[in-house]
Amino acid sequence: SIRLISIPPSIFRSALSSQGSRVVLEPIPKCDVHRLDEAPSTQVVLTRDEALQYYLTMQTIRSLELKTKQLFDQMIIGGSCHLYAGQEACAVGIEAAIKPTDHLITGYRTHGFAFTRSGSLRAIFAELAGRKTGLSKGRGGSMHMYTKNFYGGWAVVGSQVPLGAGLALACKYRKTDELCVCLYGDGAVNQGQVAETMNMAALWKLPIIFVCENNKYALCTPVERGSVNTNFYTRGDVIPGLRADGMDILCVREATRFASDHCRSGKGPIILELQTYRYFAHYAGDDEDSYRSAEEVDEVRRNRDPISQFEVRIISNNMASTEELRQIDEQIKKEVEEATQFAIQSPEPPVEELCNHIYSNCVPQDVRGINPWTKLKSVS
pLDDT of residue 273: 98
**Number of DSSP helices (H) and strands (E) in the chain, helices first:** 12, 12
Whether the CB-CB separation of 307 and 63 falls below 8 Å is answered with no
Q: Which residues pair with 206 in a beta bridge?
A: none
Question: What residue ranges define each of the domains in the chain, with the CATH number in brackets?
Answer: 26-349 (3.40.50.970), 351-379 (no CATH)
DSSP structural state of residue 373: T
β-strand 208-214 against 270-275: which pairing, if any?
parallel
Give the span between the Cα atoms of 143 and 164, in whole angstroms: 16
Q: How many CB atoms lie within 10 A of CB 349?
A: 16
CA distances from 259 to 41, 98, 176 (A): 12, 10, 17
Give the span between the Cα atoms of 148 and 362, in whole angstroms: 21
Whether the CB-CB separation of 97 and 181 falls below 8 Å is answered with no
State the alpha helices, DSSP H only, in 178-279. Answer: 192-204, 223-226, 249-264
| Spans of the chain, pLDDT less than 70 | 1-20
Give the span between the Cα atoms of 227 and 189, in whole angstroms: 8
Give the span between the Cα atoms of 288 and 188, in whole angstroms: 19
Please give the single-letter amino acid code of residue 168.
A
Give the span between the Cα atoms of 328 and 311, in whole angstroms: 12
Closest among 217, 313, 248, 278 to 87, alpha carbons compared: 278
Q: How would you class 18 by CB atoms within 10 Å of its CB: exposed for 0-12, middle for 13-18, buried for 19 or more?
A: middle
pLDDT of residue 287: 83
Q: How would you class 302 by CB atoms within 10 Å of its CB: exposed for 0-12, middle for 13-18, buried for 19 or more?
A: exposed
pLDDT of residue 20: 53
Closest among 75, 172, 63 to 130, alpha carbons compared: 75
Closest among 238, 244, 275 to 257, alpha carbons compared: 244
Please give the single-letter amino acid code of residue 75.
M
Give the span between the Cα atoms of 268 and 172, in whole angstroms: 10
Q: What angle do CA 85, 270, 251 make, to 5 degrees?
A: 45
Q: Which residues pair with 270 in a beta bridge?
A: 209
Whether the CB-CB separation of 208 and 105 falls below 8 Å is answered with no
CA distances from 214 to 34, 276, 280 (A): 17, 6, 15
Three-state DSSP state, 252: helix
Q: How would you class 4 by CB atoms within 10 Å of its CB: exposed for 0-12, middle for 13-18, buried for 19 or more?
A: middle
Q: Which helix (H) or strand (E) is 134 found in, with range?
A: none
**What's the full length of the chain, in residues?**
380
The separation between CA 97 and the C-alpha centre of its own chain, rounded to angstroms, equals: 13
pLDDT of residue 17: 43
Q: What is the pLDDT of residues 325-334, one digit of tens each?
A: 999 999 999 9
